[in-house]
Amino acid sequence: MKKLINDPQDVMRESLAGFAAAHADILKVSFDPVYVVRADAPVTGQVGIISGGGSGHEPLHGGFVGKGMLDAACPGQVFTSPSPDQMEAATAAVNGGAGVLHIVKNYTGDVMNFEMAAELCQARGIEVQAVVINDDVAVQDSLYTAGRRGVGATVLAEKICGAAAARGYDLGRVAALAGRVNACARSMGMALSPCTVPAAGKPNFVLGDDEMEMGVGIHGEPGRRRMALMPAAESVAHMAEAILADLPFRAGDRVIAMLNGMGGTPLIELYLVYGELEQHLRSRQITIARRLVGNYITSLDMAGCSITLLQVDDELLSLWDAPVLTPALRWGI
Amino acid sequence: MKKLINDPQDVMRESLAGFAAAHADILKVSFDPVYVVRADAPVTGQVGIISGGGSGHEPLHGGFVGKGMLDAACPGQVFTSPSPDQMEAATAAVNGGAGVLHIVKNYTGDVMNFEMAAELCQARGIEVQAVVINDDVAVQDSLYTAGRRGVGATVLAEKICGAAAARGYDLGRVAALAGRVNACARSMGMALSPCTVPAAGKPNFVLGDDEMEMGVGIHGEPGRRRMALMPAAESVAHMAEAILADLPFRAGDRVIAMLNGMGGTPLIELYLVYGELEQHLRSRQITIARRLVGNYITSLDMAGCSITLLQVDDELLSLWDAPVLTPALRWGI
């Protein structure tokens, strides 16, 4: 294993220490229990939004904490769910009196722990609603998931709900929006290489020199099929068709598209893939109204990418365009 | 070779096609000859700023084209200098009547071709000045360079000069600023892995499982020393000490720090390394006034990082903080 780390056991905390030092203008990090929180939390009278999950998917979730997006994020150890006490403390820290939304990716540990945290918070008199994101069309059930996995739509839900909270939507409306984003978004990913969890010290699966994993999960979970390496245009067509057929998306749809890198794939390739995606969608009369191209929900050093498409209307676009100031997404401020 | 590409010969052009589609609000791409240019170029009465070099270092340089930074960028094939006709066309496209600055990384082909382009432009009546960036302290002379290589300081010079041009500085002052950034900045990098040029199809050097290349160049050029893999804290101390001793930086200095990823190293590691850097500089009574942490000047899929430090005063900080709207750097707009 070759990584820029010290002791593999300390990666999450040491990375958070650097993250806190780099972004002190936007956020603070609590280390006991561990959570990342907006520097100005709680915002009185505004719905709080938190998310969380295992580390190793940076910038998700901590990189999306700040004005107009998440109020707090709870990072677990690498690929390990955070604990209910982290979620409870983060919820209390962002509660401005209007309740708190938990945005939860569908992994068994995350769902269970967020449920427990919500109960603890409600017992303390904090109103909590939770929305589970399960946008990955690749497989039904998986290594750590009953049902479908939650992946890229989480980023879009965090942005859109954060904007809605900043506009003064109440908890019910913000939660409904998260549900709507989840209902209207679909994702699929692929890997050219495995990734290496620091504490494990070796790659988490094996791929041949001429193979790729189509439909891979963000922890290296098996996808739909181990396939022969193919040109980018074919990989994109494969993922896009699976996504389009699932919702289904239709000619005339407008979408927000996220072309996401898994962490080890350079930008020159991601833009090439984005070009293929745009062409493919144009051939299906689908218009990309907004897009993200880059590393947003990663799998450590895995090479590969994922595509997320969200069917949008003017309300969702307006919330997408609203100002945001976080380490990883920033515009309008 | 496992990459998200189609034909290895088409990578640069296909990636640019996706890049143009993704950022049509900010820039346009000309394909004959190839250059990336601000959507609103030329800006009348304002100094134009262009840069360029081989592809494979994304987001450098195209990702820094936009308001408040570069007016145009000329990408060559991967790790190959762009040609004088690209530079001439880009210079003409951004000339708003106040002259054009060429920011050139110190690689023999880039320097030669930018010199030729400057002559062609001057013959057309366009005033051109050029500044060569050579901030890499690792080695004197290198595989493609006489003298020192130009690396991370290029990003800082592009931002600071772009802000100065937007404020109405004349060509002489903008060029002097670029020279000052180069004089006050130093960088060094290291690699945990080689990178693979698509047209070559195999890694461009070999590193043992327990080795790293300290002082590596952004094309995989040899550094100072092949060293045994060490903890991040020691790698940082090694790079930071080489940088600090070279200028030299002194106790009491304020700096802009860039902790740059080489392309294949995930953000969780980069933040950990940034934390080590901040601690190290604090122990030397040097204050990081501003910072970038992420992939800014990469080497395809190379794993590793580089550190750039720029000694700043209030003028440089004010120019750094000025609004910028590019694909890769965006604030204040």
Residue A266 maps to which CATH number? Answer: 3.30.1180.20
In a domain? residue B192? yes
- Res A232 pLDDT > 90: yes
Tell me whether A22 touches chain B (CB under 8 Å). yes
Whether residues B199 and B175 share a domain: the answer is: no
pLDDT tens figures, A175-229: 999 999 999 999 999 999 999 999 999 999 999 999 999 999 999 999 999 999 9
In a domain? residue B129? yes
Residue A143 is predicted with a pLDDT of 87
Question: Which chain A positions have a beta carbon within 8 Å of B293's beta carbon?
Answer: 18, 22
Mean pLDDT for A284-310 is: 98
Within 10 angstroms of residue B234's Cβ, the number of other Cβ atoms is: 13
- Res B10 pLDDT > 90: yes
Asked if residue B115 lies in contact with residue B221, where contact means CB atoms within 8 angstroms, the answer is no
CA dihedral A110→A116→A122→A123, nearest 10 degrees, is -160
Which of A1, A4, A206 has the most B C-beta neighbours within 10 Å, making it the best mutation to test the interface with B?
A4
- Res A333 pLDDT > 90: no
Tell me whether A124 touches chain B (CB under 8 Å). no
In a domain? residue B219? yes
Catalytic residues of A: 57, 219
Counting the structural domains of chain A, the total is 2
Residue B38 is predicted with a pLDDT of 98
The whole-angstrom distance between A13's CA and the closest CA on chain B is 9
Nearest CB among B3, B265, B330 relative to A330 is that of: B330
pLDDT tens figures, B163-172: 999 999 999 9
Tell me whether B267 touches chain A (CB under 8 Å). yes
Pairing mode of beta strands A48-55, A100-105: parallel
The whole-angstrom distance between A299's CA and the closest CA on chain B is 9
Mean pLDDT for A166-176 is: 98
Tell me the CATH number at B63.
3.40.50.10440
Residue B61 is predicted with a pLDDT of 96
Whether residues B35 and B177 share a domain: the answer is: yes
Give the C-alpha separation, B180 to B178, whole Å. Answer: 5
Whether residues A281 and A233 share a domain: the answer is: yes
Whether residues A25 and A159 share a domain: the answer is: yes
Give the C-alpha separation, B302 to B192, whole Å. Answer: 7
Element (H, E) at B254: strand B254-261
pTM metric for this prediction:
0.98
Helix (H, G, I), strand (E, B) or coil at B60: coil
Question: Which chain A positions have a beta carbon within 8 Å of B268's beta carbon?
Answer: 11-12, 15, 55-56, 58, 78, 300
In a domain? residue B333? no
Nearest CB among A14, A272, A301 relative to B266 is that of: A301
Name the burial class of residue B144, with classes exposed (0-12), middle (13-18) and buried (19+) by CB atoms within 10 angstroms of its CB. middle
Tell me whether B263 touches chain A (CB under 8 Å). yes
pLDDT tens figures, B234-292: 999 999 999 999 999 999 999 999 999 999 999 999 999 999 999 999 999 999 999 99
Helix (H, G, I), strand (E, B) or coil at B150: coil
Whether residues A137 and A203 share a domain: the answer is: no
Mean pLDDT for A34-61 is: 98
- Res A27 pLDDT > 90: yes
In a domain? residue B8? no
Question: Which of B183, B216, B236 is at the close of a domain?
Answer: B183
Give the C-alpha separation, A271 to A268, whole Å. Answer: 6
The domain of A283 spans 185-323
Which A residues in the span 141-200 are in contact with B, Cβ-Cβ below 8 Å?
192-193
Question: Which of A149, A166, A183 is at the close of a domain?
Answer: A183
Instruction: Give whole-number Cα distances, B156 to A208, A327, B122, B165, B187, in Å.
Output: 41, 19, 27, 14, 11
Tell me whether B258 touches chain A (CB under 8 Å). no
Total length of chain B: 333
Contacts of residue B183, Cβ cutoff 8 Å, sequence gap at least 6: none
For residue A267, what is the nearest residue in chain B, using CA coordinates?
B58
Whether residues A248 and A119 share a domain: the answer is: no
In a domain? residue A276? yes
Whether residues A199 and A173 share a domain: the answer is: no
Total length of chain A: 333
Give strand pairing partners of B304. B191
Whether residues B118 and B207 share a domain: the answer is: no
As a whole number, the mean pLDDT across chain A is 97
Share of chain B above pLDDT 70, in %: 100
Is the ipTM higher than 0.85? The answer is yes
CB contact under 8 A, A275 and B63: no
Mean pLDDT for B42-47 is: 98
Instruction: Give whole-number Cα distances, A74 to A64, A102, A136, in Å.
Output: 12, 11, 22
How many helices and strands, by DSSP H and E, does chain B display? 8, 14
Question: Which chain B positions have a beta carbon within 8 Å of A269's beta carbon?
Answer: 3-5, 11, 15
The whole-angstrom distance between A28's CA and the closest CA on chain B is 14
Give the C-alpha separation, A196 to A193, whole Å. Answer: 10
Q: How confident is the model at residue B333 (pLDDT cuts 50, 70, 90)?
A: confident
Please confirm, yes or no, whether B23 is among the known catalytic residues: no
Whether residues B45 and B124 share a domain: the answer is: yes
Question: Which of A150, A183, A216 is at the close of a domain?
Answer: A183
Give the C-alpha separation, A232 to B51, whole Å. Answer: 29
Whether residues B155 and B130 share a domain: the answer is: yes
In a domain? residue B7? no
Q: Per the residue annotation, which of B23, B61, B102, B219 is the catalytic one?
A: B219
Whether residues A28 and A170 share a domain: the answer is: yes
Please state whether the peptide bond connecting residue A323 to the residue before it is cis, i.e. omega within 30 degrees of 0: no
Whether residues B132 and B276 share a domain: the answer is: no
Backbone angles phi, psi at B255, to 5 degrees: -135, 155
In a domain? residue B151? yes
